[in-house]
Copies of this chain bind each other. A is one copy, B any other.
Amino acid sequence: MRSIFEVCNVADFELIKEIAIPSISKIVLLVIDGVGGLPHPQTSKTELETAATPNLDKLAGQSICGLSEPVSPGITPGSGPGHLSLFGYDPLKFIIGRGVLEALGIGFDLEDNDVAARGNFCSINDQGEVTDRRAGRIPTENNAELCKLLNGWDIEGVRTIVRPVKEHRFVAVFRGEQLAGEVTDSDPQKTGVPPEAVTAVRSEAERMAHIANEFLKRAQDALSQHQPANMVLLRGFSKHPHFPAMGEVYGLSPAAIAGYPMYRGLAKLVGMKLLNPGAGIGEEFMTLKKHYNDYDFFFLHIKDSDSAGEDGDFQRKVSVIEEVDSLIPLLNDLEPDVLAVTGDHSTPSVLKSHSWHPVPVMLCSKWCRRDAVNEFSESACLSGGLGHIPATEFMPLAMANALKLTKFGA
Contacts and interface: CB of A to CB of B under 8 A. Distances in A.
Give 6 nearest A-B pairs by CB, closest first. Answer: A74-B396, A78-B409, A387-B388, A74-B400, A1-B18, A81-B409
Contacts of A67: 387
Interface in A385-410: 385-389, 393, 395-401, 405-410
Interface residues of A, number: 65
A359 to B, nearest CB: 11
Interface stretch (A150-158, A286-294, A329-337, A364-372): A364-372
A203 interface: no
B355 A367 contact: yes
Contact of A79 (B351, B367, B387, B409): B409
B355 A15 contact: no
A205 interface: no
A126 interface: no
B73 A389 contact: yes
A76 B382 contact: no
A27 to B, nearest CB: 12
A77 B407 contact: yes
Given A76-B405, A393-B72, A410 B1 contact: no
Interface string A64-104: 00010001111111111110000000011000101001100
A38 interface: yes
Interface in A341-363: 348, 350-351, 353-357
Q: How many copies does the complex hold?
A: 2
A38 B397 contact: no
Contacts of A397: 73-74, 356
A408 B105 CA distance: 16
A379 interface: yes
Contacts of A354: 407
A119 B262 CA distance: 50
Contact of A382 (B81, B356, B385, B396): B385
A68 B370 CA distance: 17
A382 B371 contact: yes
A101 B408 CA distance: 13
Interface in A36-62: 38-39
A110 to B, nearest CB: 15
Interface of A: 1-2, 14-15, 17-19, 38-39, 67, 71-82, 91-92, 96, 98, 101-102, 105, 348, 350-351, 353-357, 367, 369-372, 378-379, 382-383, 385-389, 393, 395-401, 405-410
Contacts of A14: 1-2
Looking at A1, A38, A407, the one whose CB has the most chain B CB atoms below 10 A away is: A407
Given A379-B372, A410-B102, A74 B393 contact: yes
Given A75-B405, A105-B410, A369 B388 contact: no
Contacts of A73: 386, 389, 393, 396-397, 400
Contacts of A77: 407-409
Contacts of A372: 379
A91 B378 contact: no
Contact of A356 (B102, B357, B385, B400): B400
A363 to B, nearest CB: 10
Contacts of A18: 1
Contacts of A78: 407-410
B105 A396 contact: no
Contact of A1 (B15, B39, B74, B81): B15
Contacts of A82: 409
Contact of A409 (B15, B96, B371): B96
A79 B410 contact: yes
Given A356-B400, A369-B357, A387-B388, A410 B98 contact: yes
10 contacts: A71-B408, A74-B400, A74-B401, A77-B408, A356-B397, A356-B400, A369-B378, A382-B383, A382-B385, A388-B388
